[in-house]
Structure 1
C-alpha cells in the first residue's frame, strides 16, 4: 500500500489495486499513441546505426560497371540492376510487388523494376518509404530523376527533384529519398508552380527513373513499410 502526501500535508492512502489500474491506463495510453502515430504516418521504428529504419525491407542494389553486360537478365527477379559506371540509362517502372524485371541497364533496352503504387490517393503520404545511400570507392556520384510521358502530346516530363548520391570518405548513411523517387513534381498546368504526381498517376504514363552515373560503384536502395510525408 502506497502513502502519498497531499498539498496540505495530510497523508492519502493509495491501494495496490488503484496503483495497478493507474499503471495499466498509462501502458494502454502509450500503446494507443504509438498505434495512432503509425496510422498517421509517423515512423515509430527505431533507427539503426546507418540511419535507416529497422525491420523488414526490400533491398535493391544499383551497381555501376565499366563494361556493358551481354547476358540476358530479363525476368531475373533478383535484387540488383547493372548500370554504366559512367553515363545514363533508364529504369522502366511498372506497378506490382517489388521485383526486378530486367537487371541490365547497360544495353539498349534499359532495365525494368516493379514496385507498388506508393500513394494511390496522391495525398502526399506514402504507403512505404525509400531510403538510399552511396557505397563503393569514394568519389563516385549518381543522379536519379523520376520521369514519365504525357499521354496526349508524347512529351517526357521529369521531376524538378532528383536523388543525388555522393560517395564521401568514411561511413555512409541512408537518407529518405521517397519524394525524389516516388513522385514527379512538374508544372503541367502552367501556373508557375510544380504539381505533385505519384508514381503511376493516370495523368502521365510510361514512368521511369533516369539514372545518370559519374563513377558511383553502388547505390543501395531499401524499401520499408513505413510512411513518409512529402512536401505539397
Structure 2
C-alpha cells in the first residue's frame, strides 16, 4: 500500500505558524501605535492637561475679604496672603460656598476611589496663573472619630513663574490623605470620604498667588 505524503500536512503547519506570527506582530504594532496616539491626544493642546470634557474650578486670591457666601459659579475666593479651609462633601461637582476669605469655603465632588485600589474614577489637574511671583500650598486633611486632625504628607505646591504655565496631575495630593493612622510607621492611603476619617477639607495657604486653575477629567489616575 502506498503511504500518504506528509508534504501537505507540513505546508499546512508552516502556514498556521506564519499566520500566528503575523497576528502577534500586528498586535504589537497596533498596541504601540495606540499608546503613541493616546500620548499625542493627551498633550495635543500644549498646556499639559488631557483633552476632553472637564469641570473647571478657579481658586482666586484677593487682597480684601468678600462679605457674602457665594453658592454658584466655578470659583472660590481665598486670601491673597493667608490661610483658609475648603470643606469637601460628596456629590456632583459644585461650589457650595465660594467665599473662603472669611476662613472657610465649601466644595462638592464625587468619591474619587470608592474601592481604594489606587486608581481614581477621575483625575485633577492644576496650574498657576496670574502675575508671576506668587505661591500656594494645598494639603488634604480630615479628622478621626475622636476629633484628632490628620493632614496628608503630600502637599500640592503651585508657583507662578514667568512665562507659560502647564498643568500637572495633582490627584495624589488633592484626592487622598497619606497618614500613619495606627502609629506603626507605615503611611496609609485614605481616599476622600473613606469612613476611617471624616470632615475632609483642603487647607489652602496662599502667599500672593492670584489664580490656581483646576480641571477635573473623567479619566483615571493610578497613584500606586
Q: Tell me which residue corresponds to 2:169.
A: 176
Gaps of 5+ in 2: 1-21
TM (normalized to structure 1)?
0.80
TM (normalized to structure 2)?
0.83
Map 1:5-154 → 2, pairs under 5 A: 30=30, 45-47=41-43, 48-73=45-70, 75-76=71-72, 78-108=73-103, 110-151=104-145, 153-154=146-147
- Inter-CA distance 132–121: structure 2 relative to 1 (3 Å threshold): same
Determine whether 1:166 maps to 2:148.
Answer: no
Write the distance in 1 (CA, Å) between the matches of 2:203 and 2:69.
21
Determine whether 1:215 maps to 2:208.
Answer: yes
Q: Tell me which residue corresponds to 1:191.
A: 184
Write the distance in 1 (CA, Å) between the matches of 2:142 and 2:87.
10
Write the distance in 1 (CA, Å) between the matches of 2:209 and 2:154.
19
Name the one with the larger helix percent: 2
Aligned-residue offset at 1:43: 7.6
Structure with larger Rg: 2
Write the distance in 1 (CA, Å) between the matches of 2:39 and 2:187.
27
Gaps of 5+ in 1: 1-21
1:61, 1:219 within 8 Å by CA — same for their partners in 2? yes
Write the distance in 1 (CA, Å) between the matches of 2:97 and 2:219.
26
Q: Deviations over 1:87-130 (max 9, x none)?
A: 0000000000100010000114x110000000000010001000
Equivalences, count: 199
Aligned-residue offset at 1:46: 2.4
